[in-house]
Structure 1
Amino acid sequence: MGIRRRPQGPCLLLLLACTWTLQAQDFAWPGTAKAAVSLAYDDALDSQLDNAVPALDRHGFKATFYLTPGRGNLPGRAQEWRAVAGHGHELGNHTLFHQCDGSRPGRDWVEAHRDLSTTTAAQMQDQVRAANAFLQVLDGRTERTFTAPCGDRGASDGEYVDGVRELFAGMKVSQGAHAARSMADFDRYAVPIEAPEGVTGAQLIARVEAAARSGTVAAFTFHGIGGDYMSVSAQAHEELLDYLDRHRDVYWTATFLDIARWVRDREASATP
């Protein structure tokens, strides 16, 4: 009787590639959906309350709003943000003071006393925990997700994000990175930050169509909607929502927390 040999070299690589492809193909989103869409909004901006929230509620979509308690006009509109959470939207953690690395090019706007490059990892981790406590007072919830301001992970003495990983179901990091090509490449603790600015509705729609072709996640992180900074026009935003509304069979539009939970549950069921 012949001996059955274990695949070697190129044969083994081909087998592994096929295994990963099968895993990605087997990943299922709820219902008939081919992709998930995360509509997220950073910095607790007035235009989000004034323009984005009413539009989302008209279409019945739930989104994630990443709040920074110690910065901006959040205290002045705290009751409105509490109502946003009451409508089923997620309030996510965006640190306490939105500290970015001021040593990077083009970061002259970073305030010296809120510069990530001069803040220790321990200080940042304390601030992330404090932001969580504030958000829990606001919405009464204990589970949420996190987005690193500017996608920056490194404090003055090293990386701070991994030290608070256990506090969250998922994280968005790495500004400007490309989305996962398949769910085999998807890491719910290292989701790229896609921050549209000045784009058209057609461009936003093209992004979700690409996610449907790959079976992955279109994870938008908007800022201003029809106002404020890094803005997308209210019209472009509405065109995206209208498209998603008309194609609910293709796209599962949910909070980033719900998407992270779904992926986490699939990870748990796939573990031997």
Structure 2
Amino acid sequence: MRVFRTCALAAAIGLLGHSASLAQTSSLWNNKQCAVVLTYDDAIDVDLDNAIPALDSLKLRGTFYLIGSSPVVAKRLPEWRRAAQRGHELGNHALMHPCDGSLPGRTFVTPDNDLSKYTVSRAVSEIRANNVLLNAIDGKTARTFAYPCGDLQIGGVKFYDQLQNDFVAARGVMGGLQTAAQVDLTNIDSYMINGQSGDYLIDLVKQAQQSHTLVVFLFHGVGGGHGLNVDLKAHRQLLRYLKAHEKDIWVAPMVEVAEKIKSAQASSAAGKAKG
């Protein structure tokens, strides 16, 4: 009987701990099951023509990672400003979108934009210059960064280490669902979407709901406009699912979700230090 009571007590304590953990996670995700971040890279016409109108029609907000030198930024600047005013984040995707041309499959990289030929100081300076441009568009200082091509290093040096005070967080390109404690704010996981179905996109969200985690989508073309593309129908299916389940799913720009995670991680670290 004593063994039974001991086992029952241990099980009860385990359940209480699990419930407390879930409650803490739900609180972090604005008292919802999970968090979803919709990100769109490269500042292309379809962002303004397809993606933003689709999001606005359902009152959802996303993060648009802008390349400062993109002609679509210069030609359509008032539209980007209006998007920011409606709550979309204008994230930093570098001034020139440099990628490491020394890696396999990088024949598209031009000599002028070859990250492997950059110095760290040049990369940092260009990224900061893009922040100045973005601030001139939206008037905001808090934003996130997305690594062009997912490249983190120059000559073995992580250039973002010098930029951590300039951003709330940085988004990478490796897929994965993560709890707040697992998130690396210097390289947040994301699922790069290229041709997957609406059912696939929705299934990722359902997995996040079940595991109470963060899922980040990385889009380029939406209904065309880029070599990496999601079909308009698939994109619309995802947005409709998110809207239909908004009581259970927190959909927000990366900067807002990252700020929440950053605060939670800082609190956890402070608690452990006191302990």
* Corresponding residue number in structure 2 for 1:106: 105
**1:31–1:164 CA distance, 2 compared to 1 (3 A):** closer
How far apart, CA to CA, are the structure 2 residues paired with 1:36 and 1:95? 26
How far apart, CA to CA, are the structure 1 residues paired with 2:101 and 2:74? 25
Q: Describe how 1:162-241 pairs up with structure 2 within 5 A.
A: 162-173=161-172, 175-180=173-178, 182-229=179-226, 230-241=228-239
Shift of 1:149: 0.6
* Corresponding residue number in structure 1 for 2:128: 129
Cα deviations by residue, 1:28-79 (Å, 9 ceiling, x for unpaired): 2344411000011000111110001001001001111000011342211111
Q: Secondary structure at the match of 1:38?
A: strand
**Percent of aligned pairs with the same residue?**
36
How far apart, CA to CA, are the structure 2 residues paired with 1:212 and 1:45? 31
Contact preservation (8 Å) 2:38, 2:217: yes
* Corresponding residue number in structure 2 for 1:154: 153
Q: Which amino acid aligns with 1:126?
A: S
* Corresponding residue number in structure 2 for 1:95: 94
* Corresponding residue number in structure 1 for 2:68: 69
Equivalent position to 2:262, from 258, 261, 264: 264
Contact preservation (8 Å) 2:45, 2:225: yes
**1:248–1:156 CA distance, 2 compared to 1 (3 A):** same
RMSD: 2.0
How far apart, CA to CA, are the structure 1 residues paired with 2:176 and 2:116? 25
How far apart, CA to CA, are the structure 2 residues paired with 1:20 and 1:125? 43
Q: Secondary structure at the match of 1:259?
A: helix
**TM-score scaled by structure 2?**
0.86
* Corresponding residue number in structure 1 for 2:253: 255
**1:103–1:21 CA distance, 2 compared to 1 (3 A):** farther
Could you list the runs of 5+ residues in structure 1 that have no partner in the other structure?
1-18
Q: Secondary structure at the match of 1:65?
A: strand
Q: Which amino acid aligns with 1:194?
A: Y
How far apart, CA to CA, are the structure 2 residues paired with 1:163 and 1:56? 34
**1:162–1:35 CA distance, 2 compared to 1 (3 A):** same
Could you list the runs of 5+ residues in structure 2 that have no partner in the other structure?
1-16
Contact preservation (8 Å) 1:20, 1:184: no
Contact preservation (8 Å) 1:148, 1:172: yes
Q: Secondary structure at the match of 2:230?
A: coil
Equivalent position to 2:244, from 227, 237, 246: 246
How far apart, CA to CA, are the structure 2 residues paired with 1:23 and 1:119? 44
Shift of 1:212: 1.2
Q: Secondary structure at the match of 1:131?
A: helix
Shift of 1:25: 6.2
How far apart, CA to CA, are the structure 1 residues paired with 2:64 and 2:43? 7
Cα deviations by residue, 1:205-244 (Å, 9 ceiling, x for unpaired): 0111111122111111110000111110111111000000
Q: Which amino acid aligns with 1:42?
A: D
Q: Which amino acid aligns with 2:204?
A: R
Q: How many residues align?
A: 253
* Corresponding residue number in structure 2 for 1:37: 36
**1:150–1:133 CA distance, 2 compared to 1 (3 A):** same
Shift of 1:92: 0.4
Q: Which amino acid aligns with 1:73?
A: V
**1:25–1:103 CA distance, 2 compared to 1 (3 A):** farther
How far apart, CA to CA, are the structure 1 residues paired with 2:18 and 2:118? 40
